[in-house]
Structure 1
Amino acid sequence: MVHISEMTHIAISEAKAHLTDLVRRAEGGEDVILTRHGKEVIRLVPVRAPGKLREQRAEAIRAAQALVGDLPPDFDAARSQDFLYDDDGLPA
């Protein structure tokens, strides 16, 4: 296994014997990359975002809301330009 900071590269043939450990590492936020003939082919990632990532997202949303305030209840991202420009098409 090759350890590069928070990244693990391991051959698929070797990964078979260490799958449980590799899954735990991926769940913990480590990049786990399986290789075939030295080439990266698969990255193991958790299905759910780790708690830290969820908290970072919530923090980013709170920061955005502090800058622009709460979005209206009928906000639609597809119509977000309505909040950027006035009725004459000029920046609001």
Structure 2
Amino acid sequence: MIPLAEAATDLAELARRVEGGETIVVTRDGKPVLDHVPHQRKGGIDLEAGEACLLAAGIVRRAGFSSDDLDDPMPEDFRIRVLPVRAG
């Protein structure tokens, strides 16, 4: 832990330590007020990794699929059944 006044004057040094992987807790009047932590990139969904995972599982996307295919009739072996309602 490091007091806020000291952190303000030694920011460059703290940044170097955080870049090295250290987490630094900054305090005011002995109470923690913030953490300096290493930056973590947030990039959302990694589509390439998802595609690789599907391929590794043997799942191959059908070539040429488009939203127009949603209007095609369903195959005969595909049936939607109403599930029974459970009492209670």
TM range (shorter): 0.3 to 0.5
TM-score norm. by structure 1 comes to 0.43
The structure where helix makes up a greater share of residues is 1
TM-score norm. by structure 2 comes to 0.45
